[in-house]
Structure 1
């Protein structure tokens, strides 16, 4: 059962009972699974893999299965939350830049000059 280093078998346990941290290969496999899953979400216009879990599983069944097999549950949750947070951050930055540009345009029409 636990012959894969990222699977849920006992091979992930250290001699003291704690979990063994993923090695470079396991992390790379996880990131590849994440990237494939997120590409599928993008193709299907799904942003939030947690909120829209049923739709994501229906449209990206293979990718979500590979992602969840390659990454720990906490990493899967973290990456899904991070995707939404980064999207919201980028939208906020875009909005602020647009507001700043609009304000600068308004000030220039009123005769204000930047130095």
Structure 2
């Protein structure tokens, strides 16, 4: 997405693709999107950085790519990430 402010139709496309992606995650009973680095995220007991064993940056990146490659919602995620500003993608996830 460009650096210019999104138009109303751009925002709507982003939201529609986000909703489609989240519906796919729900359909597959996925709570944490595959390939999403949850390091440093605070949340309920059993989630977040304290639930993950320490890994190097390279190892985390490799695991994230591997998870994304096997993501059953990869097509929907690509559409979502391609139509939304990266700051929105990070916020919504």
TM, length-normalised to structure 2: 0.59
Identify the residue that residue 22 of structure 2 maps to in structure 1.
38
Structure 2 segments unaligned to the other structure (5+ residues): 39-63
TM, length-normalised to structure 1: 0.49
Structure 1 segments unaligned to the other structure (5+ residues): 1-6, 13-18, 81-115
RMSD, aligned α-carbons: 2.2
More helix by share: 1
What number of residue pairs does the alignment pair up? 64
Contact 2:68 2:74 in 1 (8 A): no
Q: Which entry has the higher C-alpha Rg, 1 or 2?
A: 1
Identify the residue that residue 58 of structure 1 maps to in structure 2.
71
Runs of 4+ in 1 over 3 A off after TM superposition: none
Relative contact order (alpha carbons < 8 A, sep ≥ 6): 1 or 2 greater? 2
CA distance in 2, matches of 1:46, 1:35: 14
Cα distance per residue 1:29-52 (max 9 Å; x no partner): 000010000000001111122258
CA distance in 1, matches of 2:79, 2:13: 9
2:9 matches 1:25: yes
Contact 1:41 1:47 in 2 (8 A): yes
Contact 1:37 1:67 in 2 (8 A): yes
Distance change (3 Å), C-alpha of 1:26 and 1:51: same
